[in-house]
Structure 1
Amino acid sequence: MMHVFECFVTWILLAVPVTGLFQSPSSKPSSHPDGGLRSECLWNIMRLTLDEALAVGSQLEIAVINGTEIIPLSPTLAAQCGYSMDSDPWGNTKVFVSLLGCYVDNQADETFNLGLRFQMYGDGLSKKIQHDVTETCSYSRWASREILCDRNYMEVSTLMVTPEVPVTMDGQKVQETWQDAIPDAVAPNSIWKMTFHTPDSKVMVLKDAHRAGYGAMTTPTRLVLRSPYNMPETYAEEVAGVPMEVFSVSTYYKQVRRLAIIVSAAACPTGGLVFTDEVITWYVPRRIPPLISSAFKILETHMGIDGQRLDKTMMAIRRYKLSITESHVVIELPVGSPDGYYKSHAPDYSYHITYTVEPMLELLWRAEDTRADTRYKVLFPITTPLMPRPPHVTESIVPEQKVFNVLLGTFLHDVSLLNITFTTGVLTVTECNARGFDFQEHRFANSSKTFSLQVPFSDEVVLKHNPNPLTTVYFLPLVFGLLILPEQIPFPHPAELEASLEDVVLPTTTGFCDQDNFYISVKYGSQGDNFQIMMLHAGSWRELDTELYSLTDNNTHVSIVVPYTAPDTVFETVQSDSIRARVDLLLLETPNMWQLNDLSLACYFPLTMTECYPNGTVTALAVKVESVRNLNPKYLTLSDQSCKPVFSNDRFAFFSFNLNSCGTTRTFFDNVMAYENEISMHHSMGKHQSRKGLINPDYRHTVSCYYLVNDTETMAFRTRPRNSDPKADPGVGQLVVQMRLAQEVSYDLFYQTEDYPVVKYLQQPLYFEVELMWSTDPRIALVLENCWATLHEDRTTLPSWDLIVKRCENLDDRYIVFHPVVADARIHIPAHVKRFSVKMFTFTTDETVLKEQIFVHCDADLCDTTKPDGICSGQCASPLWNAKPLKPTGSRRGMFISQPPPH
């Protein structure tokens, strides 16, 4: 009868849900026809294999069938009774049972019967699934002593001898009446007590030993003792540099008519491993002193995997090596052998792998003094230390495709990619493919895998910047969200992808001219309107004033119309009937201040420089050209320095004079009468030197008029004295002056009476023109004396705001601009016209904006150009730099005009 210590704690294996995608490198046995269970007899142990397909997604409970009794196996009871279990992370399970274990039906130590019940249950199962397995093994080649080292226990069985052994207790010889000292309950071949050597002695009776977790029983011919590891009565010892755990016991058991004692010992290795990246080397001491006290001879050596012996052919195929040195038995196993499996780990979110394999070493030796045989078997599961395998990111770029091609790997079969974090957020694998990112998983014959991803440069998750005008750097930061199965352990892997391409198409500029304007077209490049248009003005670049010029933008081109008289143009040369003007344009990228492109466009425009009238009047236009950049036209004079321009600005000077004045010379040749005068700058005019101290440049412009002389007449006349000097009778008449609002700076189109009131936005320019109507007298010049704005049509109402004060711009209003007037088909005498512009404004009262109409009024003076002193010195001839603006409060001198209201 077997004596065991029963425990009713369930021994449970957790099998995490897996799929066929995650097979380990070494394939486990395939499912058995009756449910994926298989049993095998391996000498003195029995192995039962449960395929993962049977346990997937469930929890597993194992129990022993002992006749009609079902006894659940707990980890404690398993170690005490000779059961062990190994399960990989995917549910492949192996159960090892010692043939001398508890609940094994032992027939004369030759035939052994065992029944086990496997029960699976879990959320994925509608009901509990049960599989009963029975196995019969035959084994009779027992050695005198057999030692079994399994993963959770040490076992030693010894052949019981029948010769009488003298027994001493407490130093005294036991007499024939020793039976009186042994309890009656102890039957023959039953264990009485046990002395544990730690190496100190500790005595326990059988019942106490069972309670302490030890296994002890007798079979028909053998004494079987079993101890879990790390028990109080076991001890550690280092043998030949290998750490071992030792279990040593003297057992007292009763035989017929005598008391027998057997000293048993088991010593199992707990270390002795050396790891490299390619090989696992396992050292086991060749001589183990706790087990061997005299000379011995090794009779057999066997190596195996998972308890199964391997022959030399299979060892060679697997590249396993078994050798014996003077001090060790050495087994070498290549890392990655198909009998083991790899597993992924992520300590501190860093990818590592391990390799697990379970070799077996079996030795048979014979002691030379007693001739007793010992069979020594060790089942030794080995897992390598964590091996770092940082994933590699490989990127390849085809410039023509403009796509990031990234390959991430290599990973084991148990790693899955869950999601990818971009700068804009997190996308699952499914969402990546739906967005157009081509994500794929690639598997290889060795069960490893990689992941590939394609992201186009044009997607918003890709960041871009330009280190220079022609190059674009594309930058893709991302984090791969990886998952280790079946444990569901997440770990990230960041990556930064970068590509540099010279793929920038710069904007281009083209232009042409007509008789009045430059027409410039800017075609956008690949980066759209990422630039500012700059115009060259007075030798320096400034941003294009969109209020001065007509701009049209259609998202691919921007078109600009620039009048040739615009402030941003320069005059290169002049001829008698034309002027050559140039506009310089620059495309500037900010904030890097890169010059993307430029354009210098020069054209000839029709312009009459000199007009000679039959009545002897001459008008001449002097132009400031680029070569005399520092010229101030208002200081130009005719040959007679008292003859000054009737109108001037910073670019033009307009002269009107009679051929019999201003130092004009006359020359006759053939039938032509030629009149000449010269417009020039006289250096003697020191008081008119430039305010910056620059010397006035040399400037000479000859004005010539040619008259055909058809005939020469001789006239005779006589004189007689006058009685009195001639007197002029005063005449009475009306001169009409009108003020109009132009639609644009060209002053070609004007608002009509029915257009008023005109609606304008704040800061939008208003272009005014004041003209003396129906006069052909070149001696009359129009001068604007004062201009102001009111809220009412009555010019005397308040509040009012001064625009022009004493012929000059209001110094408190920087938005008043005078515009030059040149002769054209409509305007024959420029001195009869004045033009100015002001940006739209509104009145405020107590910081409240008055949204009402605005009326503009002007006082105009008409003067005699032959008398250039006084008001005919020109518009703003003597600016009052420190004068305060005037407010109109009463009547004004001269003519006045009013403009209908803009609002």
Structure 2
Amino acid sequence: MAFGFGLCVAFLLSLSATVTCDLIPDGAPQMECHDRYLMIAVDRSIAGDQSQFEAVDETGVHPITEEYAAKCGYTVRVLPLQGLVELRASYFSCHTDNQDDEAFTFRFNLITTHEGLKRKYTVNKSCPLALPWAPREVTCESNYMEVSIMTDVTCPTASKREDWDSAVQTAYSSANSEWQLMFKKDGVLTPKNFSEAEAQGYVFEVTAGRLVFRTPYGQPDSFRTEVNGVPVEAVHPLLFARQRWVVLMVEVVAACSVYKASHSESGHILWEIPSSWHPVVTSLHKTRTSVGVSGALEDPTNAEGRGYLVEDNNDTVRISIPAKAEGGHRKSVALGELAELYVFELYLEQVATDDDDNVTTRLRVHKTLESLLLQRPLLFENRTDPEEQCFSVFLGDIPADVTLAAVRLNGVELAVPFGNASSYALTEESQANDTHGYVLKVPLDDAGVMQQRSKEEALMRYRLDLNYTLMVLPARSPFHKVVSVELLMDVVPPVFTASCSESGVSFSVKRQPFFHLWNLSVGPDLLTPELAAQHGYNMSSDDQGLQLHVPLFSHGFTFQNITLKGFTSTFEILVLDAETSEVHSAAAETCSFAASELILCSTDGMMTLVADLSAMVLGGRGSPDRPNLLDRSCRPEAWDGGRVLFSFPVNGCGSKVQVVKEMVTYKNQISLSQSEDSRGESGSKVESVTVQCTYPLSGLHSFFSTHKFESDTPGAGQILNSTPAMRTSSPEDKPITTVQPTTVPPLKRVRYVLYQSNLSPRYVKVTNIIERRRTQKGYQQSRKFL
């Protein structure tokens, strides 16, 4: 396909200071030579919204206005669905260089306006005649009718005899040697001179071999009639001249179907045209009809494959096109919700042959057909993944001529695109068939999301109401899409995993969707960063979850199964309902530990201790008897000859009470007696270790009661050496070995500080400080156990 380009002629520069001359961008105009017209299409991005064409010939420049276009054989249209500005120019249009009806040369100026700046481009094109002329050709354009007849065509013998005779008599009585004009309407012939006809918009032109007549629709001399039930607009001019006794007459008839498209129950577009193209020409029966779109006829097989049907029924040709058939152009319409219609630029050719004189008439029709309005549902998908903790919804199948303008959430309207500070995310996705969609993400904890918790069913219901505002382009006609989406999630309390180590117990929990609905506590105290810092917990938290390490003997431990070999300790975390503070569940971990010494001072007044007496035994002079307290009847629960286990009331077993600075201390002694030393000396030597528990006086409820002891806080315990100087062990002495459980590694000897939860009646809340100072051969030794 050849394209013609050119420079603006020089005199155009003087028209306006705001007009500039440019070469039109390469490939910008689509120019196609069809059988009987030239088509020029320019993208609207170049043509703009106020574009205009001018026809150029040797006489000058002629603006193609709406009225001038209908008179001179031009059709200018804006095609918003295709994004084009289109010009169709008849081969017989004004200002076209016609070379013997065989080649046609066009010159146009295209004027565009962008931001107040006008530009003028020159577009040239030459079209050779591709299809030979038929004796009679009729074109039904959207704004005019055009007829061309060979100058040597025979008389229309098919006309009604009485009409022809009447016309001849009128012409003979008034005719002279000059050509004259009459219009026939309702059986009446109205004379009209050519100047008057031209002023009314009629065009008569004689070319090298044809007579051309062109008229806009709706002229005073046109008339409406029906042919085989199909409404037709027709104009019937007659040209005549008398030479002596002979009358020369040319009958020119232009007739076009003005049938308005209808629609079948299935939604097909229906359009009709009579088989006989004019009411006074009834002998044209051998008719062949072809259809296509956008100026291109389709092969009958291809047309049928697209669903285009051509049916000839009772001298009427009916065209049937499916609403969504290939070749149509879709258009969105805002009617409360989104609707759509399909537009077809129907191109029809009808070839008919006269039975009497074998004269062929070729009729061409350009007709814009629209389907009914069809509902166009949009696609809505709930793509929410509960793990992401946000709603993810998709609104799709949105046509290309529709865009999203705003979204309303919980009464608040957000313009699109969202600001950078917004917690919402909106992304656009391309889809097939020239459609697109939007993915909107809204956090579940956003104020625009409604939440409703059902404790009975252990469910949380999330609801998001959305009102999308969409615009149909280019008019930006708005419509709305209102949708709601819900999410049901099981309200699962935190689930802990725990592990034991030499230094204590560790807990971890993954951060789940409803972590905020629960509180964690150690006993009655909420587990907070402040509490963790106060009691020496190692706690860290992030988006993944929470990790907690509790050192042994920290606040919250309970102790069980205390023996000389070791003990078990339990730490428990309570899971509370954040609204009601009710205990929902608990996570407890029990671990086994070993310790050489410990002392527990409980809130109910029990002193439980494991004391290492091996130094006393080694310093003695004989085999010791079983240890005892101040009350010699209070005997240990276990004794292995080196370490001893006692458990007794703090105010029992002969304990002594001392009050100093609002603190109450209960003291007792562990004593050993030796009946005979290693040198065979007789007698008895007593050695002892002092043990004590100290409580705040303000926290004691029954200070001097021997029947009940109750304290708000655990006591602080100590084991104090009161043993006299001991001998140095000889090389032959056998070392004393502390027996530890094989499954639990022994703890290092440290200072114990214990905080015990008061959750279980079996275990008590304690604080222990173990500190022993022993003197052996003048050597001061301090041992602390942590």
- Per-residue CA deviation, residues 118-150 of structure 1 (Å, 9 max, x unaligned), is 122221x85514122232333673333221111
Report the equivalent of 1:143: 134
Distance 1:556 1:526 in 2: 23
Report the equivalent of 1:119: 111
- Displacement of 1:357: 1.8
TM-aligned CA distance change 1:240 to 1:530, over 3 Å? farther
Q: For 1:450, give the aligned amino acid.
A: G
Report the equivalent of 1:270: 259
What does 1:706-717 align with in structure 2 at a 5 Å threshold?
Answer: none
Distance 2:150 2:451 in 1: 82
Find 1:247's aligned residue among 222, 231, 234: 234
Distance 2:219 2:583 in 1: 83
What does 1:570-585 align with in structure 2 at a 5 Å threshold?
Answer: none
Q: Is the 8 A contact 2:463 2:487 kept in 1?
A: yes
SS of 2:279 mapped into structure 1: coil
Distance 1:201 1:172 in 2: 8
SS of 1:351 mapped into structure 2: strand
Find 2:70's aligned residue among 62, 79, 90: 79
Report the equivalent of 2:181: 193
SS of 2:383 mapped into structure 1: strand
TM-aligned CA distance change 1:108 to 1:529, over 3 Å? closer
User: Is 1:174 the counterpart of 2:183 in the alignment?
Assistant: no
What does 1:673-752 align with in structure 2 at a 5 Å threshold?
Answer: none
- Displacement of 1:748: 11
| Structure 2: unaligned runs, 5 residues or longer | 1-22, 157-163, 497-511, 533-573, 587-601, 606-661, 665-699, 707-786
Q: Is the 8 A contact 1:356 1:383 kept in 2?
A: yes
- Displacement of 1:61: 0.8
- Per-residue CA deviation, residues 491-526 of structure 1 (Å, 9 max, x unaligned), is 332222211112253999xxxxxxxxxxxxxxx995
Report the equivalent of 2:409: 422
Report the equivalent of 1:491: 479
SS of 1:431 mapped into structure 2: coil
Distance 1:555 1:285 in 2: 91
Distance 2:702 2:472 in 1: 86
Q: For 1:212, give the aligned amino acid.
A: Q
TM-aligned CA distance change 1:596 to 1:383, over 3 Å? farther
Report the equivalent of 1:223: 211
Q: Is the 8 A contact 1:351 1:390 kept in 2?
A: yes
Distance 1:162 1:353 in 2: 48
Q: Is the 8 A contact 2:213 2:252 kept in 1?
A: no
Distance 1:317 1:32 in 2: 39
Distance 1:468 1:201 in 2: 94
TM-aligned CA distance change 1:271 to 1:556, over 3 Å? farther
User: Is 1:101 the counterpart of 2:93 in the alignment?
Assistant: yes
User: Is 1:283 the counterpart of 2:272 in the alignment?
Assistant: yes
Q: Is the 8 A contact 2:418 2:426 kept in 1?
A: no
Q: Is the 8 A contact 1:507 1:597 kept in 2?
A: no
Distance 1:464 1:330 in 2: 60
Report the equivalent of 1:24: none
Q: Is the 8 A contact 2:38 2:91 kept in 1?
A: yes
Higher Rg of the two aligned structures: 1
| Structure 1: unaligned runs, 5 residues or longer | 1-30, 183-187, 509-523, 534-549, 559-584, 608-746, 750-821, 829-903
Q: For 2:31, give the aligned amino acid.
A: S
User: Is 1:345 the counterpart of 2:333 in the alignment?
Assistant: yes
Paired residues, number: 520
- Displacement of 1:362: 0.8
Distance 2:45 2:369 in 1: 25
SS of 1:174 mapped into structure 2: helix
- Displacement of 1:417: 2.0
Q: For 1:290, give the aligned amino acid.
A: P
Report the equivalent of 1:740: none
TM-aligned CA distance change 1:426 to 1:373, over 3 Å? same
Find 2:225's aligned residue among 237, 243, 249: 237
Distance 2:289 2:35 in 1: 14
**TM-score of the superposition, structure 1-length normalised?**
0.50
TM-aligned CA distance change 1:105 to 1:405, over 3 Å? same
- Per-residue CA deviation, residues 606-649 of structure 1 (Å, 9 max, x unaligned), is 79xxxxxxxxxxxxxxxxxxxxxxxxxxxxxxxxxxxxxxxxxx
Q: For 1:46, give the aligned amino acid.
A: L
User: Is 1:158 the counterpart of 2:152 in the alignment?
Assistant: no
Distance 1:503 1:317 in 2: 58
Q: CA RMSD in A?
A: 4.8
Report the equivalent of 1:15: none
What does 1:802-881 align with in structure 2 at a 5 Å threshold?
Answer: 824-825=702-703
- Per-residue CA deviation, residues 571-620 of structure 1 (Å, 9 max, x unaligned), is xxxxxxxxxxxxxx999998xx9988599xxxx9979xxxxxxxxxxxxx
SS of 1:292 mapped into structure 2: coil
SS of 2:215 mapped into structure 1: strand
Report the equivalent of 1:431: 418
Q: Is the 8 A contact 1:253 1:260 kept in 2?
A: yes
- Displacement of 1:435: 3.7
Report the equivalent of 1:130: 121
Q: Is the 8 A contact 2:272 2:317 kept in 1?
A: yes
Q: For 2:193, give the aligned amino acid.
A: V
- Displacement of 1:249: 1.7
- Per-residue CA deviation, residues 773-819 of structure 1 (Å, 9 max, x unaligned), is xxxxxxxxxxxxxxxxxxxxxxxxxxxxxxxxxxxxxxxxxxxxxxx
Q: For 2:172, give the aligned amino acid.
A: V
Distance 1:324 1:434 in 2: 66
Distance 2:167 2:269 in 1: 49
Moved more, 69-78 or 425-434: 425-434
Q: For 1:114, give the aligned amino acid.
A: F
Q: For 2:76, give the aligned amino acid.
A: M
TM-aligned CA distance change 1:291 to 1:272, over 3 Å? farther
Report the equivalent of 2:312: 324
Report the equivalent of 2:717: none
Report the equivalent of 2:36: 44
What does 1:187-586 align with in structure 2 at a 5 Å threshold?
Answer: 192-197=180-185, 202-242=190-230, 244-254=231-241, 258=247, 260-275=249-264, 279-288=268-277, 290=279, 292-293=281-282, 295-298=283-286, 300-312=288-300, 314-315=302-303, 318-348=306-336, 350-423=337-410, 425-431=412-418, 435=422, 437-469=424-456, 470-503=458-491, 505=493, 526=514, 554=528
- Displacement of 1:47: 2.1
Distance 2:492 2:420 in 1: 29
- Displacement of 1:154: 2.0
Distance 1:445 1:231 in 2: 48
Distance 1:314 1:147 in 2: 26
SS of 2:236 mapped into structure 1: strand
Distance 2:98 2:452 in 1: 81
- Per-residue CA deviation, residues 682-735 of structure 1 (Å, 9 max, x unaligned), is xxxxxxxxxxxxxxxxxxxxxxxxxxxxxxxxxxxxxxxxxxxxxxxxxxxxxx
- Displacement of 1:262: 1.7
Report the equivalent of 2:508: none
Report the equivalent of 1:622: none
Q: Is the 8 A contact 1:145 1:157 kept in 2?
A: yes
TM-aligned CA distance change 1:606 to 1:283, over 3 Å? same
User: Is 1:66 the counterpart of 2:53 in the alignment?
Assistant: no
Distance 1:48 1:214 in 2: 25
Distance 2:298 2:63 in 1: 33
What does 1:715-794 align with in structure 2 at a 5 Å threshold?
Answer: none
Q: For 1:226, give the aligned amino acid.
A: R
Distance 2:343 2:154 in 1: 48
SS of 1:131 mapped into structure 2: strand
Percentage identity across aligned positions?
24
Report the equivalent of 1:702: none
